[in-house]
């Protein structure tokens, strides 16, 4: 009888332990499990956002980059990509806030500074954009795209003297540029007729 009871007790003990373990694993979280779930989910959101970005559905991409930012390990990438998507969506307010934040973290990043100058110009704040482009051109005098945008901002602001000087510098630094003819025509739209004819004579000489 004692042997039978001992066997019964052993079987009961094993069954009880198995039940207890299964109950614990279902109710008690494993250390790090929650973080892994968040990371995996955020990574999926990030991939979905990238897919929407490729499809040029920029608004949807921005939504999913927001969701991806719940994971600190990919926060910076998702934050940057959201700003990029916002600029492509022409959501200038969101894009400007993001690129200002990015630039505050990396003040020497020319790409961030250039993107912000463009965004500020597109949002209609030409005066501030002009200052930004002036600084960028000083720091990168042989960047043709920056020189072009700087000149076009002067033209948009109808700052004739600054535009003429920028045009001369452009021709000097990029004598073989295909943009010269187009830029000269743009410049002519803000130059008074008498000055325009005088400049044409100078160019021929």
Q: Please, which residues have CB within 8 angstroms of residue 27's CB and are 6 or more apart in sequence?
A: none
Three-state DSSP state, 118: helix
**CA separation (Å) from 148 to 82, 130, 136, 153?**
27, 12, 12, 9
Q: Tell me what pLDDT residue 39 has.
A: 75
State how far the Cα of 63 lies from the Cα of 151, in Å rounded to an integer.
36
- Cα-trace Rg, the chain: 31
Per-residue pLDDT for the chain (205 aa), expressed as one digit of tens each? 444 444 434 443 334 334 333 444 344 454 444 556 667 899 999 999 999 999 999 999 999 999 999 999 999 999 999 999 999 999 999 999 999 999 999 999 999 999 999 999 999 999 999 999 999 999 999 999 999 999 999 999 999 999 999 999 999 999 999 999 999 999 999 998 765 555 554 555 4
The answer to whether 118 touches 94, Cβ cutoff 8 Å, is: no
**What is the structure's pLDDT at 5?**
43
Residues 6+ apart with CB under 8 A from 32: none
């Amino acid at each position: 009888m004692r042997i039978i009871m001992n066997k019964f007790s052993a079987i009961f003990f094993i069954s009880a332990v198995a039940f207890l373990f299964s109950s614990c694993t279902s109710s008690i979280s494993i250390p790090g499990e929650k973080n892994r779930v968040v990371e995996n989910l955020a990574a999926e959101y990030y991939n979905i956002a990238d897919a929407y970005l490729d499809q040029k559905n920029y608004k949807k991409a921005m939504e999913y980059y927001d969701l991806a930012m719940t994971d600190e390990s990919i926060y910076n990438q998702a934050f940057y990509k959201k700003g990029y998507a916002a600029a492509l969506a022409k959501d200038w307010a969101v894009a400007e806030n993001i690129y200002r934040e990015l630039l505050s973290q990396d003040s020497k990043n020319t790409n961030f500074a250039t993107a912000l100058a463009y965004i500020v110009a597109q949002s209609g704040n030409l005066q501030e954009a002009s200052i930004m482009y002036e600084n960028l051109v000083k720091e990168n005098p042989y960047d043709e795209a920056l020189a072009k945008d700087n000149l076009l901002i002067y033209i948009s602001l109808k700052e004739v003297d600054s535009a003429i000087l920028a045009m001369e510098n452009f021709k000097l630094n990029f004598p073989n540029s295909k943009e010269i003819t187009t830029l000269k025509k743009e410049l002519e739209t803000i130059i008074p007729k008498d000055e325009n004819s005088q400049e044409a004579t100078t160019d021929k000489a």
